[in-house]
């Protein structure tokens, strides 16, 4: 009775495109992204933002130091 439809082990929305993903295969390790391409896209964007924020924080600290 339970072997007709595969029961999703877990489901999540892709962090990149928002698509709902239901994992039914135990060998499927996806937990955040629907595909490798979206994982790559997301990380590329995330690291770019991190670099920009870090640069901005450094600039701000330097400016405040000069003012003090």
- List contacts with Zn ion (CB under 5 A): 14, 16-17, 34, 38
Residue 50 structure tokens:
């991190």
Pick 14 or 23: Cβ nearer Zn ion: 14
Task: State in angstroms the smallest separation of the CB of 4 from Zn ion.
Answer: 28
Q: For Zn ion, give the closer residue by CB, 25 or 53.
A: 25
Cβ 7 to Zn ion shortest distance, Å: 23
Give yes or no for a contact between 23 and 6, defined as CB atoms under 8 angstroms apart: no
Q: Strand, helix or coil at 52?
A: helix
- The CB-side HSE value for 38 (13 A sphere, CA atoms) comes to 14
């Amino acid at each position: 009775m339970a072997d007709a439809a595969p029961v999703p082990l877990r489901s999540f929305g892709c962090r990149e495109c928002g698509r709902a993903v239901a994992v039914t295969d135990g060998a499927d390790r996806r937990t955040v992204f629907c595909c490798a391409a979206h994982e790559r896209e997301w990380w590329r964007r995330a690291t770019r933002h991190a670099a920009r924020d870090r640069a901005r924080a450094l600039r701000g600290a330097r400016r405040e130091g000069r003012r003090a």
